[in-house]
Structure formats: structure tokens, C-alpha cells
Amino acid sequence: MPAAAGPEIERLIQLLARLPGLGPRSARRAALFLIKKREAIMAPLAAALQNAIEKIEVCRTCGNIDTQNPCTVCADPRRDGSAIVVVADVADLWALERAHAINARYHVLGGTLSPLDGVGPDDLSIDALVERASDPDVKEVVLALSATVDGQSTAHYITDLLHEANVKVTRLAHGVPVGGELDYLDEGTLAAAMRSRTPF
């Protein structure tokens, strides 16, 4: 079947189709939209992408991604340097920042231990975390990892490694989410919430 558009446009559609949430059909729509708004959207988008390619770096301290190194979080003197929040991925860091949950520094592991996916301790930024935690200024390491078997395996593994470091190791609570109705919660979450109940 002959192509409906030139190779440049087909290439654009193919690349857009690789983005999360987009399939071939929606990539075609997105490409058409960009082409129609060439000056208003497409050119600034291309410039923004080019700029991002040139400037984005992985923070050498925490593993966050930013346009400066050390990243904005690590360079911020108002951050509490006595606590390190350990997250699996940059998306988790962003989620905690959106929630203004804690004014601490972070450490991005780059994933969680997963034997099925072949991810072992050497594939994660665990050694760097242990080194950071051994700093006398660090008093607490908060393990903000998923409430999954892989996430908690990683948490327990790190806890073992931090045994020698003189830091308090904490983890996020597991339980009822805000707006969650007990009737609709799964039994596992309910049981975990009941076990972690606190004085009121």
C-alpha cells in the first residue's frame, strides 16, 4: 500500500508512537496536530526538546534529573540535610515534591531489586546511598519505596546495609488512603492498616 505521507512525516509518526500512552493511531493524530500548528506548537516543542537534550543531566549526588548538577534539590541550602528520602525512580521524587511531603534531600535508586527482571544490587545506586548515609550530618534515611514485594525486598536489603551507619531508618506507612472507604479496600491493605494503627 502506498504511504499517505512522505518519509519525514512517517518517521515523526513512528517516533511519536513510541511515547507512553500513544499508539500508532493516536501518534498519527498527534503528528497531524503538530503539523497543523507548526509555528505555534511544533517549532517551540522541537526547540524545547533540543534544549532538554543539551542541558539535562543526572545529578551526581542523588540521581535526580535536572538542568544543573548538583540538581536543584541538592543545591538548595534550605533543605534539611539530616534526612535522605530514598525513592526508586525520579517519578517518585517528583510525586513527593508535588505533595510537599518533606523538605529533605533525596536519593534515586534507579529501580528496585527484581530477580524476574534481572535487576540486582549492582544495577541500583545503593553503594552511593550507603556512602551518603555514612555522613555524620545524616540522621535519618526514609525508605519511600513501593508497597510491593520487590519494593520491600529492596527496603529490607538497604536496611541491612545501613545497619553499620549511625542513622535511623524509617519507611512509609501502609494503610488507608485519604478518601478511601474501608468497604472498597482490599483485605491486604486493610490488614496492614489495622496492624499499623496509632493512638488517636
Partner 1 sequence: MEWTDDGIVLGVKRHGESSVILELMTHDHGRHLGLVRGGTSARQRGVLQPGNALRATWRARLDEHLGNYTVEELNLRAADFLGAAHAVHGVTHLAALCRLLAEREPHAAIYEALEAILDHLNEPHLAATMIARFELDLLAELGFGLDLTSCAATGATSDLIYVSPRSGRAVSREAGEPYRDRLLRLPAFLHGETEPQSPRDLADAFALTGFFLDRHAFAPRGLALPEARAHFVAAVSRASQ
Instruction: List contacts with partner 1 (CB under 8 A).
Output: 20-21, 115-117, 120-121, 147-149, 152-153, 156-157, 159-160, 174, 186-189, 191-192, 195
Count CB-CB contacts under 10 A for residue 19.
11
Question: What's the closest the beta carbon of residue 18 comes to partner 1, in angstroms?
Answer: 11
Cis peptide before 2 (omega within 30 of 0): no
Question: What's the closest the beta carbon of residue 98 comes to partner 1, in angstroms?
Answer: 18
Residue 169 φ then ψ, to 5°: -105, 125
The vertex-84 CA angle with 83 and 88, nearest 5°, equals: 155
Asked whether the beta carbons of 127 and 64 are under 8 A apart, the reply is: no
Looking at the Cβ atoms of 44 and 121, the one nearer to partner 1 is 121
Looking at the Cβ atoms of 61 and 159, the one nearer to partner 1 is 159
Question: What's the closest the beta carbon of residue 131 comes to partner 1, in angstroms?
Answer: 21
Looking at the Cβ atoms of 9 and 193, the one nearer to partner 1 is 193
Question: What's the closest the beta carbon of residue 17 comes to partner 1, in angstroms?
Answer: 12
* CA 114/CA 89 separation, integer angstroms: 14
Looking at the Cβ atoms of 78 and 163, the one nearer to partner 1 is 163
Question: What's the closest the beta carbon of residue 116 comes to partner 1, in angstroms?
Answer: 4
Question: What's the closest the beta carbon of residue 99 comes to partner 1, in angstroms?
Answer: 17
Count CB-CB contacts under 10 A for residue 86.
26
Torsion of CA 63, 64, 68, 69, to 10 degrees: -20
With 0-12 / 13-18 / 19 or more C-beta atoms within 10 angstroms meaning exposed / middle / buried, residue 53 is exposed
Looking at the Cβ atoms of 79 and 174, the one nearer to partner 1 is 174
* Length of the chain as a residue count: 200
Task: Report, in angstroms and rounded to the nearest whole number, the Rg of the chain calculated over CA atoms.
Answer: 22
Looking at the Cβ atoms of 13 and 62, the one nearer to partner 1 is 13
